[in-house]
Amino acid sequence: MNATINKEFIFNYLAGKSTALQKQLVDDWMKQPAHEELFYQWLVEYEYQQPQYLTQVDEAIHRFQDFAEGKGARYPTESEIQVLPPVRSRKWAWGVAASLALVLTASGLIFKNSIVYQTYESAVGETKTLILSDSTQVVLTANSSLKVPRFGFGRETREVFLTGEANFDVSHQANNQRFVVRTERGVEVVVLGTEFTVYARPEKSKVILNRGKVQLRYREGKAQKQIMMKPGELVMLDQDNHLEQQVVTQTDQNAPLKDRRFIFDDTTLAEFAEMMQESYGIRVEIQDKSLAERTLVGSFRAENPEELLGIVSRIFNVEITKSGDTLLLTNK
């Protein structure tokens, strides 16, 4: 019986060309979950094939993003609610919060930071290595500060506030608890187990991911945005939080925090080519002038020049062709 039900049969059914008996067949056939799946798959196909009208999906996504940002505070997913402290300690925590609130009001919020947060600072020219209570290692570079909550850090959330630049080697917790780095301009890095660098100076923010996975959240104008980063990627945000580039980098020459890292700071592709020549004796040629002027920002860990070239070519969407000992970069 079921053999008679195929895609054509369902398409006819959807088009209203089925007899009462055939509809009955469909009803029976659909009682099996696998058939139901199949039905909806065909339905999607049918609707794509014979649309009633064309929707503006981008606008719809835009509305969704607005919604998600505003009233649509999501219920946390299971992996986001990790440690639920026992009721008693929670009450206690509320007590603390309440009395803190009082103190803060009384002191006119001036001392808020020093009460709530432990602040670690590094002077100009100084690099500081910190181990947080969750055994996350942080290397603060010069002239930077990191604020860590005195209360509750690692219990319910792990959130720190960074000004300046730091490298984080985040410890993984058994409960997959997230580690969040916030910066002053609403740029937030949500860590999903990882090593990465955050650079948060007034003029721009940069996030460089060495391994693992992080989610970057930021505001651009009114819109809350977020992207996922993969190892080797760099994201830079300017003063208005425009996402500038998503780049990767080169060489341990002037490696700052760790070795085997390539650092680019507004390096043009032409300069990159020179560097490849100097460091590895690889001749890289870029014939397109506008392509040669495009710039790279960031730091990237690569084992060898080939890997680096591969990444750069992906970022700029260029093609690499080899002719003799010269590599030619061209727009795809």
Partner 1 sequence: MYQGLDGRRKQTSGTLDALAPALSAPAKEFAPLTDDELFIRKNLEADPRLGLELLYKRYYQPLCTHAVKFVGSREVAEDLVSEIFFDFYIQNKFLEITTSYRLYLFRTVRNRAYNYLRWDLSRKAELTEVAQKPILKEQQPDQISQYEELYHDVEEAVNRLPVERRRIYLMRKFDGMKYQEIADELNLSVKTVDVQLNRANQFVRALLREKWLLNLLVCFVSLV
Provide the binding-site residues for partner 1, judged by CB under 8 A: 6-7, 13-14, 16, 23-24, 26-27, 30, 33-34, 36-45, 47-55, 57, 60-61, 63-65, 67-68, 72-75, 77-78, 192, 213, 215, 226-228
**Which C-beta is closer to partner 1: that of 44 or that of 101?**
44
| CA-based torsion, 318, 321, 324, 325: positive or negative | positive
* CB within 8 Å of 294: residues ≥ 6 apart: 268, 269, 316
278/293 Cα distance (integer angstroms):
19
**Which C-beta is closer to partner 1: that of 36 or that of 278?**
36
Q: How far is the CB of 207 from partner 1 (least distance, A)?
A: 15
Q: How far is the CB of 72 from partner 1 (least distance, A)?
A: 5
Asked if 231 and 238 count as a contact pair (C-beta separation under 8 A), the reply is no
The pair of structure tokens assigned to 4 is 């008679």
| CA-based torsion, 64, 69, 70, 76: positive or negative | positive
**Which C-beta is closer to partner 1: that of 41 or that of 113?**
41
Q: How far is the CB of 26 from partner 1 (least distance, A)?
A: 6
Q: How far is the CB of 193 from partner 1 (least distance, A)?
A: 12
Quickly list H helices, 197-288.
Answer: 269-280
Q: How far is the CB of 51 from partner 1 (least distance, A)?
A: 5
98/92 Cα distance (integer angstroms):
10
**Which C-beta is closer to partner 1: that of 8 or that of 325?**
8
**Which C-beta is closer to partner 1: that of 22 or that of 118?**
22
How far is the CA of 250 from the CAs of 201, 236, 275, 293, in angstroms?
Answer: 22, 16, 9, 17
